[in-house]
Amino acid sequence: SFSPPSFVVMRSFRRGAALAFAEDFAHHKAGVARLNHGSFGSAPRPVLVAAQRARELWLAQPDELYFTGGLAAKIAKSEAMAAEALGVDGISLVENSTVATAIVAKRWSRAKERR
């Protein structure tokens, strides 16, 4: 039987709750449900809209956003919002699940080397 680590907050998702998010996924092919909504551009509409706004902001003046600390502040705010939504003390956002897996594997390998 699976027991999540103590730092993992398990939340249940009931089928009825899916209706509240149906419009966010209206651009998906009918009858298709994705478990990983970030893969291959299949994100929900609010994420696509936010990503487009971020691209436009970056393209308008990347130097200003990067060198003034604006980008770091936006990332920190996003991490804080994600941590709050998940009910955890802190979180680090990375590019994708492959990067996250590599980070965890590297940390585990270093921990094993120290033993």
Structure pTM? 0.57
31-59 per-position pLDDT tens digit? 776 666 555 657 778 888 888 998 999 99
DSSP-H helix ranges across the chain: 45-60, 62-67, 70-86, 97-114
93-105 per-position pLDDT tens digit? 888 888 889 999 9
* CB 92 within 8 Å of CB 86: no
Report the candidate in 27, 54, 55 with the shortest Cα–Cα distance to residue 41.
27
